[in-house]
Amino acid sequence: MAVSLFQSAIYEAQFGDAEMSEIFSDRAEAAQMVRFERALAQIEGELGVIPKASGQAIHDGLSDVEVDLSALSKGVTSSGVAVPALVSELRSHLDPEHGQYLHWGATSQDVVDTAMVLSCAQALDVLELRLRAVIDALAAKATEYQDLVVAGRTRGQIATPITVGLRIAKWAQPLIEIEKSIPDIRARILRVQFGGASGGNTATAPHGAAIGVGLAKALGLAPAQPWHVDRSGLVHLASWLLQISVALSKYAGDLILHMRSEIREVSAGAGGGSSTMPQKSNPVGPETIRTLASLAKAAHAGIANAADTAEDRDGGQWPIEWALLPQIVIATGASLSHALVLAETLKANEAEIQAVLAANDGVMAEQVSFMLAQHMPRPEAQALVKDAAKTGKPLREALPELCAQDLDWDDLFDPQKSVAPCREIAEAIFAAR
Amino acid sequence: MAVSLFQSAIYEAQFGDAEMSEIFSDRAEAAQMVRFERALAQIEGELGVIPKASGQAIHDGLSDVEVDLSALSKGVTSSGVAVPALVSELRSHLDPEHGQYLHWGATSQDVVDTAMVLSCAQALDVLELRLRAVIDALAAKATEYQDLVVAGRTRGQIATPITVGLRIAKWAQPLIEIEKSIPDIRARILRVQFGGASGGNTATAPHGAAIGVGLAKALGLAPAQPWHVDRSGLVHLASWLLQISVALSKYAGDLILHMRSEIREVSAGAGGGSSTMPQKSNPVGPETIRTLASLAKAAHAGIANAADTAEDRDGGQWPIEWALLPQIVIATGASLSHALVLAETLKANEAEIQAVLAANDGVMAEQVSFMLAQHMPRPEAQALVKDAAKTGKPLREALPELCAQDLDWDDLFDPQKSVAPCREIAEAIFAAR
Amino acid sequence: MAVSLFQSAIYEAQFGDAEMSEIFSDRAEAAQMVRFERALAQIEGELGVIPKASGQAIHDGLSDVEVDLSALSKGVTSSGVAVPALVSELRSHLDPEHGQYLHWGATSQDVVDTAMVLSCAQALDVLELRLRAVIDALAAKATEYQDLVVAGRTRGQIATPITVGLRIAKWAQPLIEIEKSIPDIRARILRVQFGGASGGNTATAPHGAAIGVGLAKALGLAPAQPWHVDRSGLVHLASWLLQISVALSKYAGDLILHMRSEIREVSAGAGGGSSTMPQKSNPVGPETIRTLASLAKAAHAGIANAADTAEDRDGGQWPIEWALLPQIVIATGASLSHALVLAETLKANEAEIQAVLAANDGVMAEQVSFMLAQHMPRPEAQALVKDAAKTGKPLREALPELCAQDLDWDDLFDPQKSVAPCREIAEAIFAAR
Amino acid sequence: MAVSLFQSAIYEAQFGDAEMSEIFSDRAEAAQMVRFERALAQIEGELGVIPKASGQAIHDGLSDVEVDLSALSKGVTSSGVAVPALVSELRSHLDPEHGQYLHWGATSQDVVDTAMVLSCAQALDVLELRLRAVIDALAAKATEYQDLVVAGRTRGQIATPITVGLRIAKWAQPLIEIEKSIPDIRARILRVQFGGASGGNTATAPHGAAIGVGLAKALGLAPAQPWHVDRSGLVHLASWLLQISVALSKYAGDLILHMRSEIREVSAGAGGGSSTMPQKSNPVGPETIRTLASLAKAAHAGIANAADTAEDRDGGQWPIEWALLPQIVIATGASLSHALVLAETLKANEAEIQAVLAANDGVMAEQVSFMLAQHMPRPEAQALVKDAAKTGKPLREALPELCAQDLDWDDLFDPQKSVAPCREIAEAIFAAR
């Protein structure tokens, strides 16, 4: 246990994400807010909303400022938000003549939301790279194992043969859909926030729209109408992150299954040992991915709840996002990192795979039944296979005994006769990128 | 209380949605599954996977079939899924020679998932119309009240003046974003499911892909690689529905606030009376929207959880979707219907609005402070307004007493001086459709 | 899919609970509300709050009333709650002289909450019986298999030997804790609601408290201060139900695992067949329990949310309970029914169990290591076992080859040497009832 | 935003809880684990499971040990859990002769779970004190305002008169129920964990039970059968914490409402100012409580999910608790601290309360209607009041005009005639402690 697994000397290395944590650090948060204030002053100066000299003085004077975080902390305590304290703090670095024009016409939420969006932009860049790397790694493994027949498993039971390549492609399938959505996510999220106290830009009338456009340009964001109470974009982002986390959790769950002592068809990652049970190889990486997905789900529910704001700007729902958006981003980011290691080290154990197929030749029942239907009516074929299954003997042994016809049984039981579409499907899944 | 508020003689009229309930009825579910089986047989006949005559006989023979739902119920009890029982039931309506080719190469999930998607297609058509109608109605009201000044409210406090039109536009703002996503939602969801037992189309090799394309065409869906274990599209859909529900909940919450006894700035819908308290006008419609949003949130969490499937096809997560997808669709659909009534009957009470502004002239503090800053340094202007606020008197009275300068105070306190951008923002929000 | 899986001609038999659905039916809801009104009139008549004759006339006159549910539906539509319409409807069955005293001093929530509590009382009786039956059945099986050694499994890996009896006892362990809480749950929930419009019993002053006590007595409930806005008891109940559902889900998950094709150490329930894959035995019952647990989790989250009420009585959070409390009760109730069937039919497959132990003699590593430590320093013993594990040979073969000492290896590898505590723990778990 | 609001230089002072964070710190976690290992060695030495001298040497030798957290971090990375690394690290401080007996027969989860329970014991002590203080403060205020009449509010509408004291008592009502549960919570949670690798205490046979009892005694916990996979107690604890958070959220929500600019009937805490809107007094404390309740809800959902463990010990669900249990404890703890400040500074503004009553004399409609029913049939009385309400005039003015009888109208409109039960109910609520 720790106050936060993502910020713990003991747990962070496994559950956290140093790169993401840097993006959401207190220091980075303060820097993004300063970036907003500097850009705001400059564009307001250019537009003549404030004296041009003051705009420039603010922009230049705060370029190297080191914000006193303890002052911000006190500000949060007294007003629930860091911005008024930040503004005071920044003014202390400026000539009062210019400092009076700092934060001109903005509301705290303009600053905090835009800072959040700037952090999200960085996080999205990281996530995009990792997502691509995971899909690439899975694609390579799917190709490597494109013809390796394995027992398909459905509902806890061995079903029909597929290929290892198809299974891997199916793990990638949701990730590929999710990857395609990245431009949409960026378009929906990377928007400047500038609306003033009640979101009507009354304090800077009639320049609000122009300031917003200028700010957006300076910060590399899209211009937007004030979205203080439209948090649908954040729900959209959170859902996208959740989709990644859940897709990886499915993949991790399958790995845990296929790495079980009784199956061992694949190995991936470095197994965690046990001091007293040397035979064990605990699936540490996949377990962590599943843990992180649960954390992402919990965070998602809170973020969706936060979107139900009150009034023209809200005070109680908004900080839920401050708390949980970093959580879901970090959980998802860390999950992708673990997933990449597992994808790159994924190894199919052909001997075990073959042993399972041999010990469970019921896996061929469907194929045999369909192929038998070329020699007799389908109901008869199905009945024959069912009867063979009831004998308790391997199908390959029982069927010829029960069947009056003389057929090429080795051919009927050859899984390669039916798995060709698996390769096609796997290729088509990756071709959709 | 009821087993389901959506299917109750007492509660359905208020909380349910008759049109949506029809789409998700047992009868409709059975019909969609029959539709799948008929189309499957026809395309398989055309492709020569099964005898052409059998394909046609199945397609034609089941055109008017009335499925015995009690047989399906028994099937669900024995195998957890209705399809095997449905197939038996349908075969009883067919000549055995043809009946043997029914459901050829398909797995239960192919049928159930495709039926689900077909129902979703219908539901999306309904939702699209309702969403459009709600936005249209809000747009009309935003125009009607585009210049009506009202006290902006943030964090439980009267803040700065805005217009009623802007507030209405902000209610519509997330809905407009959500409306834009409809094509994306359709593209992500309206996909045929055809993969066979383990999702590799082995039973119909090498025709699986062609069957899938033909099926999709016959059913008006997009072709797709088997997505048995990729439920990201459903999470995406659920998030989209949740975004609607939450956006409407925010709108409903604001209505409840502004319809309070102490505010009464707006009225909307027919107020619910109380037998012993005739003065009350309970906000029945908005309350119901908020209730429905909570139900949508609960359903969403379950659907996201369901996406974490196991193996090549899952048995325990999948029925969560059967339970909760209709719930979130119905909750959202009913919510839109209530929202439309509220939007169409929305009426601003100008006298009350004016009274609130008059009784809280602190609402003008920011504007006055910014306008004073044209006559004195900003810190001085702010200090002056702060001092005036401390007197406890109305600002309009206190400020001239404290200010040494002789200014046009009526002009400084005229909200029309600052609300012009509100109209622009409102127009821009709707122009983005 | 269905509007509600719990009320569907296709799905209810597997996912629903006929006995619970009857308790929460529209008809039963109306009857409980009538029961409240009759008892209220009688006690108010006895206390002289209303004329004694009117109290009796109401009580007697409504004894066989058949409420028109469509009238209640219209009432819900107009006021959000069924009670005003119910009161009108009931009055139509009474002489106006007496009818005027119906519902005297009560508020809608008094009626609806008390009716809900009365339904919960019935549901708790059913749940208690089922919970007891499940624990009893598990206890019998734990005794039957108290000495049967099986491979313990932790983190997806075969760990150390335990007994089947211990595993079964562990499934029962949370249920036994939960069973002990039943009196506490009843004490927290089965409380009358009587508080009037704003919860202060002003309309019936000074008789409110006496009416509440009399009502409680008449209805078999505990008296209570008005709890309109204290929903903590319902959260407590929901958590208790969730604990049952989750405990059963863990049990079901383990069954699915141990019934897998590759393990088959146990069987339970009737396996669901597949038309084309006769070798399959889908774990339908356990899957359904897991599905129901997910539905219970989703419902629980909504109920907890509903407890965050507003003002002196709330209108938007309250109906969330009407929707979701029946859902969590039905999900939990149905889950217990499935769990009972599975417990009663649970069968350990000794041959498979033995085969797994034989094929994975690493399971003995810890015991051997501890027993070796009686013959050498522990680090040396551990190193020896580790080295043996690395050989890839069975431990039983590798260890004697590596060990310089001549030991009774059969004894060291006899799991019966270490599993005695398993039986003791299992017995202690059940002894705690 | 921050990686964690509870561990941020900017946000922790407002959202976090220094006292709780100390309990869950990395350093404290390590210390609790060492405490377990020392107590284990000592009791095992006393029981002769390990050499007595070694038990004592371990116990004494580790009394001042300073654990290297970076070593634990590496351990978590390789095995998913800190204990193997901790054991290595601790052995480096011991003579190998004794060190070999460290952690004898325990499994990682024994250590981590017991350490968690020890931390929970500390947290429960803190929570109990704070809960008591909040209830005490509310009790004092309820007494202070026991006779102050205020407009009751239900469903967003002014309803009937109650007292401020009753409203305050209703805020305390769930907290009092929750307080009563503390012994039950302690009994359910404060249990030692000792079960060994697969929870059967096979490695220490036949001493496992005795070791467990001794450990429990040494650590101040109750003895217990191994509960590795019975997490129902944690769900129970989480629900208890959630109930606190939600009860405080309701209280905070009401404060925000009653502190609104348009109502201002109460003040509590120090209002957060706005630099440009000096008239504002943002309800910072109540907002934070509501934010924290949302975080508690999100954490609760995850913890309940974690209880659905797999196998004889689980690897993926368990760390969810490490992450989320501290979160819900800290959120609840911080919430209680804010609630106490708000309770102690709560002040009713009698002038505003009176003004609202005067401006909304419909609040008296129910009382007047009931009192009129002493002079005419109830339906007639209700109709009269309804007609008066329709005039749009104040009831006090309209009613005498419409009523044919000459009545003591001042008496009929005197709220003190009906609010006596409010005081009684409030007293009864607190008397239940």
Using a CB-CB distance cutoff of 8 angstroms, which residues of chain C are in contact with residue A157? 260-261, 277, 279-283
Residue B275 has pLDDT above 70, yes or no: no
Count of CB atoms situated within 10 Å of the CB of A125: 12
**pLDDT tens per residue, range A182-235:** 999 999 999 999 999 999 999 999 999 999 999 999 999 999 999 999 999 999
What is the rounded CA–CA span in Å between residue D354 and residue C111? 32
Closest D-chain CA to C79: D155
Q: Are C207 and D162 in contact (CB under 8 A)?
A: no
Q: Average pLDDT in the C317-323 region?
A: 97
Report chain B's C-alpha Rg in angstroms: 29
Residue B310 has pLDDT above 90, yes or no: yes
**pLDDT tens per residue, range C218-250:** 999 999 999 999 999 999 999 999 999 999 999
**pLDDT tens per residue, range C171-191:** 999 999 999 999 999 999 999
Q: Which residue from B277, B306, B323 is facing C5, i.e. has the nearest CB?
A: B323
Taking the Cβ of residue D58 and every Cβ of chain C, the question of whether any pair is shorter than 8 Å is answered with no
Q: How big is chain C, counted in residues?
A: 433
Q: Which residue from B156, B278, B301 is facing D260, i.e. has the nearest CB?
A: B156
The phi and psi torsions of D264 (rounded to 5 degrees) equal 50, 35
A138/chain D closest Cα distance in angstroms: 23
Q: Which alpha helices (H) appear in C48-107, and where do they start and end? A: 52-61, 69-79, 83-91, 96-99
Taking the Cβ of residue A36 and every Cβ of chain D, the question of whether any pair is shorter than 8 Å is answered with no
pTM higher than 0.95: yes
What is the rounded CA–CA span in Å between residue A333 and residue A130? 8
Q: Which residue from A2, A203, A327 is facing D322, i.e. has the nearest CB?
A: A2
Taking the Cβ of residue B69 and every Cβ of chain C, the question of whether any pair is shorter than 8 Å is answered with yes
Token couple for B342: 């509220």
* Exposed/middle/buried for residue B131 (C-beta within 10 Å: 0-12, 13-18, 19+): buried
C157/chain A closest Cα distance in angstroms: 5
Using a CB-CB distance cutoff of 8 angstroms, which residues of chain A are in contact with residue C287? 155
Residue C83 has pLDDT above 90, yes or no: yes
Contact C10 B77 (CB under 8 A): no
**pLDDT tens per residue, range C4-13:** 999 999 999 9
Contact B305 A297 (CB under 8 A): yes
Contact D235 C246 (CB under 8 A): yes
Taking the Cβ of residue A275 and every Cβ of chain D, the question of whether any pair is shorter than 8 Å is answered with yes
Residue D218 has pLDDT above 80, yes or no: yes
In order of A97, A231, B416, the CA distances from B147 in angstroms are 36, 26, 8
Q: Are D304 and C246 in contact (CB under 8 A)?
A: yes
Confidence of residue D275 (pLDDT cuts 50, 70, 90): low
Q: Which residue from D9, D16, D256 is facing A26, i.e. has the nearest CB?
A: D9
**Interface contacts (B, C; CB < 8 Å):** 251
Contact B73 C11 (CB under 8 A): yes
Q: Average pLDDT in the A154-177 region?
A: 97
pLDDT for the residue numbered D382: 87
Residue D168 has pLDDT above 80, yes or no: yes
Instruction: Give the containing element (helix H, strand E) for D160.
Output: strand D157-163
What is the rounded CA–CA span in Å between residue D236 and residue C283? 30
pLDDT for the residue numbered B407: 92
pLDDT for the residue numbered B274: 67
Confidence of residue D274 (pLDDT cuts 50, 70, 90): low
**pLDDT tens per residue, range C88-134:** 999 999 999 999 999 999 999 999 999 999 999 999 999 999 999 99
pLDDT for the residue numbered B270: 84
Strand partners, C163: C149
Contact D315 C199 (CB under 8 A): no
Helices C232-258 and C284-306 cross at an angle (nearest 10°) of 160
* Exposed/middle/buried for residue B68 (C-beta within 10 Å: 0-12, 13-18, 19+): middle
What is the rounded CA–CA span in Å between residue D185 and residue C191? 22
The phi and psi torsions of D114 (rounded to 5 degrees) equal -65, -40
**pLDDT tens per residue, range A275-333:** 667 777 899 999 999 999 999 999 999 999 999 999 999 999 999 999 999 999 999 99
pLDDT for the residue numbered D272: 72
Using a CB-CB distance cutoff of 8 angstroms, which residues of chain C are in contact with residue A281? 157
**pLDDT tens per residue, range A13-48:** 999 999 999 999 999 999 999 999 999 999 999 999
Using a CB-CB distance cutoff of 8 angstroms, which residues of chain D are in contact with residue C250? 229, 307-310
What is the rounded CA–CA span in Å between residue B102 and residue B99? 5
Token couple for D187: 């009994």
Q: How big is chain D, counted in residues?
A: 433
pLDDT for the residue numbered A335: 98
Residue A274 has pLDDT above 70, yes or no: no
What is the rounded CA–CA span in Å between residue C172 and residue C165? 11
CA torsion angle for C80, C83, C89, C92 (degrees, to 10)?
A: -130
Instruction: Give the containing element (helix H, strand E) for C151.
Output: strand C149-154
DSSP string over A10-69: TTHHHH--HHHHHHTSHHHHHHHHHHHHHHHHHHHHHHTSS-HHHHHHHHHHTTT----H
Q: Give chain A's end-to-end CA distance (angstroms, integer).
A: 40
Q: Average pLDDT in the C281-288 region?
A: 94
Contact D421 C208 (CB under 8 A): yes
Dmax of chain B from CA atoms?
103
Count of CB atoms situated within 10 Å of the CB of B275: 18
Residue B159 CB contacts under 8 Å (≥ 6 apart), including other chains: A197, A198, A312, A313, B151, B152, B153, B363, B366, D274, D277, D280
pLDDT for the residue numbered A379: 85
Confidence of residue C266 (pLDDT cuts 50, 70, 90): very high
Taking the Cβ of residue A80 and every Cβ of chain D, the question of whether any pair is shorter than 8 Å is answered with yes
Confidence of residue C270 (pLDDT cuts 50, 70, 90): confident
Confidence of residue B420 (pLDDT cuts 50, 70, 90): very high
Contact C322 B1 (CB under 8 A): yes
Helices D395-402 and D365-372 cross at an angle (nearest 10°) of 30
Closest C-chain CA to A388: C278
What is the rounded CA–CA span in Å between residue C384 and residue C405? 12
C49/chain A closest Cα distance in angstroms: 43
Interface of A with D in 107-146 (CB under 8 A): 112, 115-116, 119
What is the rounded CA–CA span in Å between residue D391 and residue A388? 87
Around B159, how many Cα atoms within 13 Å sit in the side-chain half-sphere? 24
Q: Are A197 and B154 in contact (CB under 8 A)?
A: yes
Taking the Cβ of residue C74 and every Cβ of chain B, the question of whether any pair is shorter than 8 Å is answered with yes
The helix/strand count (H/E) of chain C reads as 20, 4
Q: Are A342 and D317 in contact (CB under 8 A)?
A: no
Q: What is the mean pLDDT of chain C?
A: 95
**pLDDT tens per residue, range B136-182:** 999 999 999 999 999 999 999 999 999 999 999 999 999 999 999 99
Q: Are D161 and D362 in contact (CB under 8 A)?
A: no
CA torsion angle for C317, C322, C327, C330 (degrees, to 10)?
A: 150
Using a CB-CB distance cutoff of 8 angstroms, which residues of chain C are in contact with residue A261? 151, 153, 156-158, 360, 362
Closest A-chain CA to B428: A225
Strand partners, B347: B267
Q: Are B263 and A311 in contact (CB under 8 A)?
A: no
In order of A201, B74, B362, C239, D433, the CA distances from A205 in angstroms are 6, 69, 19, 53, 58
pLDDT for the residue numbered A16: 98
Using a CB-CB distance cutoff of 8 angstroms, which residues of chain D are in contact with residue C225? 173, 425, 428-429, 432
Q: What is the mean pLDDT of chain D?
A: 95
Taking the Cβ of residue C301 and every Cβ of chain A, the question of whether any pair is shorter than 8 Å is answered with yes
Contact C80 B275 (CB under 8 A): no
DSSP string over A177-213: HHHHTHHHHHHHH-B-----TTSS--TTTTSHHHHHH
The phi and psi torsions of A272 (rounded to 5 degrees) equal -80, 130
In order of A187, B277, D378, D402, D418, the CA distances from D412 in angstroms are 63, 15, 15, 15, 10
Count of CB atoms situated within 10 Å of the CB of B362: 23
Taking the Cβ of residue D382 and every Cβ of chain B, the question of whether any pair is shorter than 8 Å is answered with yes
Closest C-chain CA to B285: C80
Contact C389 A278 (CB under 8 A): yes
Q: Are B304 and A246 in contact (CB under 8 A)?
A: yes
In order of A289, A424, B201, the CA distances from A246 in angstroms are 9, 26, 25
Token couple for D250: 């309701």
Contact D167 C312 (CB under 8 A): yes
Q: Are D328 and D241 in contact (CB under 8 A)?
A: yes
Q: Which residue from B3, B84, B326 is facing C21, i.e. has the nearest CB?
A: B3
Neighbouring chains of A at 3+ CB pairs within 8 Å?
B, C, D
What is the rounded CA–CA span in Å between residue C392 and residue D238? 45
By C-alpha distance, which of C331, C84, B292, C258 is closest to A157? C258
Please identify which residue in the block is written with the tokens 């132990």: C357
* Exposed/middle/buried for residue D14 (C-beta within 10 Å: 0-12, 13-18, 19+): buried
In this prediction, what percent of chain D has a pLDDT beyond 70?
A: 99
Contact B322 C11 (CB under 8 A): yes
